[in-house]
């Protein structure tokens, strides 16, 4: 398939936004967006302004700059709500990232679990969507079940349907696999969970920057993501949950901002989302995330998804011609290609590619159960963003050809 057809068949054109990203020098192929996305200048500018021109605390000061910063901070919350299709900004809880969001749910909502209750995960989950539930199961006596994958690396929802019982109280699944790029039919997963009375949490770390998300249309109960994978800053992330669920959840962390009144005879707590935001927040991080969402929305997630899917198609087509390479995951993966070079450890692959100015991820990607399922200890992973193009695919292939020459 010719390069032009890769995008034309999807009704769009290649993105040309590399100039927006000052940390990507000429000739450097950054293919590690699944780990963390590079930042466009508008996000960097928003962060710089927040610290250099408008900085003040929020929710506390009576002076004008504090009031202005509070308005900007809460405007970011409202922007996130619109981006996710939430019913209200009060359903948006600021956290440090998806890992903290999942731990918050496990330590707050999870207190309702009791011995014999069940949690359903899948074989492709990130450790951050496994370990918090294991800790919860250890505390409560709940039991964890693991759904299998289809042959092409999707979560097997037919198997999920057969496994679910009224004892299941939670289903927690990745919207897009950070290793395979496979996309979950999240609405069907939610319908299956709700059919047995379970709640469903969707890990959206790899999806929010790649596919349009509407939490009400998906009918999920919790949705989490990290800002730095959405072209925003590190240290800021989001837990979205239905208002009625948040209203019943107790605080997880104590401190300032999450209280109503405090006395030694007892403390009352703020309503959500403040109840879950103890301490001084990452104020400027919220401003940077707001700018990142504006940037992504201006391009359009449909265009981003088409662009990254075309790059995945090109990469898989090229890599499949190298008979020393095994590809993992489906052909329609969202922005991610994982592979193995026969006889070469992924770390060696990554090192040689780095010499060729190609940056990939090599390792187990915080998915050791998935690695065991794939029969490998690690994989090499190339992941695309809005700033990548066919030249980066060419650089990846040239680098891998050098790997195979070196290792014979």
Quick one: 10 exposed, middle or buried, by C-beta within 10 A (0-12, 13-18, 19+)?
Answer: middle
Is it true that the peptide bond before 42 is cis, omega within 30 degrees of 0?
A: no
- Reply yes or no on whether the pLDDT at 245 is more than 70: yes
User: In which band, very low, low, confident or very high, does the pLDDT at 1 lie, cut at 50, 70 and 90?
Assistant: low
Look at residues 399, 363, 401 and name the one whose alpha carbon lies nearest to residue 380: 363
Look at residues 164, 162, 190, 167 and name the one whose alpha carbon lies nearest to residue 118: 167
Fold of 3-30+301-407: 3.90.1150
Output the pLDDT for position 12: 73
* Residues 324-348: tens digit of each pLDDT: 999 999 999 999 999 999 999 999 9
Domain coordinates in residue numbering, the chain = 3-30+301-407, 44-297
- Reply yes or no on whether the pLDDT at 408 is more than 90: no
Instruction: Report the phi/psi class of residue 179: left, alpha or beta, with left for phi > 0 and alpha for psi in -120 to 50.
Output: alpha
Write down the CATH number for the domain with range 44-297: 3.40.640.10
* Residues 348-393: tens digit of each pLDDT: 999 999 999 999 999 999 999 999 999 999 999 999 999 999 999 9
Query: Is 220 labeled as catalytic in the residue annotation?
Result: no
Q: Report the percent of the chain where pLDDT is more than 70.
A: 97
Which position among 205, 220, 366, 367 bears the catalytic label?
Answer: 366
Only one residue has tokens 């010719």, namely 2
Both tokens of 255, joined, read: 């401190």
Q: Is residue 194 classed as helix, strand or coil in its secondary structure?
A: helix
CB of 215 closer than 8 Å to CB of 187: no
Both tokens of 131, joined, read: 């370990």
- Reply yes or no on whether the pLDDT at 6 is more than 80: no
Only one residue has tokens 């995945």, namely 312
pTM of the full predicted structure? 0.96
User: In which band, very low, low, confident or very high, does the pLDDT at 88 lie, cut at 50, 70 and 90?
Assistant: very high
Output the pLDDT for position 5: 65
User: In which band, very low, low, confident or very high, does the pLDDT at 60 lie, cut at 50, 70 and 90?
Assistant: confident
């Amino acid at each position: 398939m010719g390069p032009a057809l890769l995008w034309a068949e999807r009704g769009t054109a290649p993105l040309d936004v590399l100039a927006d990203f000052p940390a990507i020098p000429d000739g450097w192929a950054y293919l590690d967006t699944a780990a963390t996305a590079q930042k466009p200048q508008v996000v960097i500018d928003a962060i710089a302004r927040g610290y250099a021109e408008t900085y003040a605390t929020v929710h506390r000061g009576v002076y004008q700059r504090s009031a202005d910063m509070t308005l900007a901070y809460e405007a970011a919350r409202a922007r996130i709500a619109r981006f996710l299709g939430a019913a209200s900004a009060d359903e948006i809880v600021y956290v440090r990232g998806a890992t903290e969001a999942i731990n918050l749910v496990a330590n707050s909502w999870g207190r309702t679990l009791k011995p014999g209750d069940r949690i359903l995960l899948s074989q492709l989950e990130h450790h951050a969507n496994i370990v918090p539930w294991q800790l919860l199961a250890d505390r409560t006596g709940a039991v964890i079940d693991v759904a299998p994958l289809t042959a092409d690396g999707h979560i097997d929802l037919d198997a999920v349907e057969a496994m679910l019982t009224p004892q299941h109280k939670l289903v927690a699944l990745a919207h897009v696999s950070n290793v395979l790029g496979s996309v979950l039919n999240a609405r069907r997963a939610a319908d299956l969970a709700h059919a047995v009375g379970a709640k469903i949490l969707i890990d959206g770390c790899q999806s929010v920057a790649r596919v349009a998300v509407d939490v009400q249309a998906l009918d999920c109960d919790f949705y989490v993501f990290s800002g730095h994978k959405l072209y925003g800053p590190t240290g800021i992330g989001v837990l979205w949950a239905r208002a009625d669920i948040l209203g019943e959840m107790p605080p997880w962390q104590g401190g300032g901002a999450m209280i109503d009144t405090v006395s030694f005879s007892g403390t009352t707590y703020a309503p959500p989302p403040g109840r879950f935001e103890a301490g001084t927040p990452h104020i400027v991080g919220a401003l940077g995330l707001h700018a990142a969402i504006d940037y992504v929305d201006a391009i359009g997630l449909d265009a981003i998804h088409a662009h990254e899917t075309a790059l995945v198609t090109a990469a898989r087509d090229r890599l499949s011609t190298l008979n020393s390479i095994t590809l993992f995951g489906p052909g329609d993966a969202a922005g991610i290609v994982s592979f193995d070079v026969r006889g070469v450890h992924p770390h060696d692959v990554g090192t040689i590619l780095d010499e060729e100015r190609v940056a990939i991820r090599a390792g187990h990607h915080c998915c050791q159960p998935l690695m065991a399922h794939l029969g490998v200890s690690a994989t090499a992973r190339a992941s695309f963003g809005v700033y990548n193009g066919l030249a980066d695919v060419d650089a990846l292939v040239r680098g891998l050809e050098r790997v195979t020459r070196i290792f014979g």
